[in-house]
Chain A
Amino acid sequence: KAGVTQTPRYLIKTRGQQVTLSCSPISGHRSVSWYQQTPGQGLQFLFEYFSETQRNKGNFPGRFSGRQFSNSRSEMNVSTLELGDSALYLCASSSRPEGNTIYFGEGSWLTVV
């Protein structure tokens, strides 16, 4: 069974640009959540989607947005990039509400210059 797939794995963007990250969950999983990981702030929850609806949202500015498609694939978008957005963005999927374990992808390393 394929795991969570995230693309791209590495990217470099310039301040002010926008970026879109993609996540394909484990087959059969309908819940997808996103996390930002930085050395100073640790793992921070961005949002969770279930059946194309946002279930939960963390404390991030409106520049961070996401969506989920009917096939459960998800994208997150960051507009007007700032240097502080440089981080590892992790996607996780689960079979919630039936199952409670979340499984992570390898992440997308974003560097903003």
Chain B
Amino acid sequence: AQKVTQAQTEISVVEKEDVTLDCVYETRDTTYYLFWYKQPPSGELVFLIRRNSFDEQNEISGRYSWNFQKSTSSFNFTITASQVVDSAVYFCAGLYNFNKFYFGSGTKLNVKP
């Protein structure tokens, strides 16, 4: 089976806390791509990052960082010093064998002031 699992349905944190969103993927393909998207209440999914299966380097962009570990089939997303504007639903997705996208069920992040 090919899929993406986001076990955390909803997370609530207080502003300035660090938070990690988990993503576990499943595929037998050797070539695949992993993504994170942010969906604010307006509805549009905003692209955050893409990683391919041959690039296991971690990525940092401002307060955002991503940890890709093939050994555990995980692609986790950490927000450092969270802010209220980070409140949204975050989706992890996988593109396997250049075919179609598989989205996780999403994690709703609530950042309280």
The answer on a CB contact under 8 Å between A45 and B37 is: no
Which A29-48 residues have a C-beta within 8 angstroms of B?
A: 33, 35, 42-43, 45, 48
Known: A42-B105, A43-B91. A104 touches B37 (CB 8 A): yes
Stretch at the interface among B18-26, B57-65, B67-75, B94-102: B94-102
Task: Answer yes or no: A81 CB below 8 A from chain B CBs.
Answer: no
Task: Answer yes or no: A103 CB below 8 A from chain B CBs.
Answer: yes
Task: Answer yes or no: A84 CB below 8 A from chain B CBs.
Answer: no
Measured CB to CB, the nearest residue on chain B to A102 is B101
Task: Answer yes or no: B45 CB below 8 A from chain A CBs.
Answer: yes
Task: Answer yes or no: A107 CB below 8 A from chain B CBs.
Answer: yes
Residues of B within 8 A of A (CB): 33, 35, 37, 42-47, 50, 91, 95, 98-101, 103, 105-106
Measured CB to CB, the nearest residue on chain B to A55 is B100
Residues of A within 8 A of B (CB): 33, 35, 42-43, 45, 48, 56, 88, 90, 92, 96-97, 100-107, 109
The answer on a CB contact under 8 Å between A56 and B99 is: yes
Residues of A within 8 A of B101 (CB): 33, 45, 102
Measured CB to CB, the nearest residue on chain B to A97 is B98
Sample of 12 more A-B contacts, CB < 8 Å, known A45-B100, A104-B45, A106-B43: A33-B100, A42-B105, A43-B91, A43-B103, A56-B99, A56-B100, A90-B43, A96-B98, A100-B98, A104-B44, A104-B47, A106-B42
Measured CB to CB, the nearest residue on chain A to B33 is A100
Measured CB to CB, the nearest residue on chain A to B99 is A56
Residues of A within 8 A of B42 (CB): 106
Residues of B within 8 A of A33 (CB): 100-101
Residues of A within 8 A of B95 (CB): 100
B6 CB → nearest A CB, Å: 10
**Chain A to chain B contacts (Cβ below 8 Å), 26 pairs:** A33-B100, A33-B101, A35-B103, A42-B105, A42-B106, A43-B91, A43-B103, A43-B106, A45-B100, A48-B100, A56-B99, A90-B43, A92-B45, A100-B33, A100-B95, A101-B47, A101-B50, A102-B101, A103-B47, A104-B37, A104-B46, A104-B47, A106-B42, A106-B43, A107-B44, A109-B43
